[in-house]
Amino acid sequence: MDKLAHDFLIIWATIDPIGTMALFAGLTANLSAVERRKTAYKTITYAALILAGAIVVGQLLLGAMGISLIISFQVAGGVILFLFGLQMIFSDTMTNKAGEPLHDISVFPLAIPATASPGAILAVILITDNNVYTIQEQIITTATMLSVLIITLILLIFSGGIIKIIGNGGASLLTRIMGMILAALSVEFIMEAIGVTKWVASVS
C-alpha cells in the first residue's frame, strides 16, 4: 500500500491532470463538443501508449540513452513548448482558413509533453526498475498509471462545461493565459535540466 500511494502521488504530480485539463480547455475552445471528446480520447490513448512503452522498454532506454540524452530531450521539449506558448499568446486563432486545427493537438502538446511529460516518462521508468521491483509490483504501478490517466480523461471530457460558462471571449483569454503558463513551464523545464546537468557535473 505504501508503494501504491507513493507511485500514485509521483505519477499524479508528473502528469498533472488539473493542469492538463486547463490546457485542454484553452486549446479546444473553438472545437465542437464531439471534436473535444474525440480529442480527449486520442490524447489519453497516445499518452497511455507512450508511458506504457516507457515502462516496457524503460531499462533499455536508461542504458541506451543515458542521463545526458534524457536531459537534452527535456531541453528540446522545453524549447518547442515555449514556441507553442508564444503562438497561443500572439495568434488570433489556432485554426486555418478551413477551420481545422493547424496540427493534431491531441499529439502535441496534449499527449506529449503535457500529459506524458518528460518527468512522467522518466518517473514511470524509475519506479518500475527491473533491478528493484518485481513483475507484480510493476504491474501494480502500470495499473496506477492507467488509473491516473482515466481520471485525467474524465476531467478532459467535462472541460466542455468550462467553455459554456466562460463563453468565446473567456475562451480566448484562457487560451492566452494557458500560452503564458506554457511559456513559463517550458522555461522551468529548461532550468530544471540545466540544474540537473550542473549536479551531474559536480558529482562526477
On whether residue 117 sits in a domain, the answer given is yes
Per-residue pLDDT, 101? 47
On whether residue 137 sits in a domain, the answer given is yes
Q: Return phi, psi of residue 94, to 5°.
A: -100, 10
Query: What average pLDDT does the structure give for the chain?
Result: 78
* Cell output for 39: 480529442
Per-residue pLDDT, 197? 54
**Mean pLDDT for the stretch of residues 45-73:** 77
CA distance 6 to 29: 35
On whether residue 204 sits in a domain, the answer given is no
Residue 60 pLDDT class (50, 70, 90 cuts): confident
On whether residue 122 sits in a domain, the answer given is yes
Residue 140 pLDDT class (50, 70, 90 cuts): very high
Q: Are 176 and 29 in contact (CB under 8 A)?
A: no
| Least confident among 72-76, 99-103, 146-150, 157-161 | 99-103
pLDDT greater than 60 at residue 147:
yes
Residue 93 pLDDT class (50, 70, 90 cuts): very low
Dihedral, CA of residue 97, residue 47, residue 171 and residue 180, to nearest 10? -100
On whether residue 94 sits in a domain, the answer given is yes
CA distance 75 to 200: 16
On whether residue 118 sits in a domain, the answer given is yes
pLDDT greater than 90 at residue 72:
no
Per-residue pLDDT, 63? 64
Per-residue pLDDT, 148? 95
The three-class DSSP label of residue 158 is: coil
CA angle 143, 147, 151 (to 5 degrees): 170
- The contacts of residue 52 (CB under 8 Å, 6+ apart) are 142, 145
Counting the structural domains of the chain, the total is 1
* Domain residue limits at 131: 2-199
Per-residue pLDDT, 114? 86
pLDDT greater than 60 at residue 98:
no
Q: Are 117 and 19 in contact (CB under 8 A)?
A: no
**Mean pLDDT for the stretch of residues 22-35:** 85
Higher-confidence position of 135 and 174: 135
| Least confident among 65-74, 107-116, 118-127, 183-192 | 65-74
**Mean pLDDT for the stretch of residues 81-92:** 72
On whether residue 112 sits in a domain, the answer given is yes
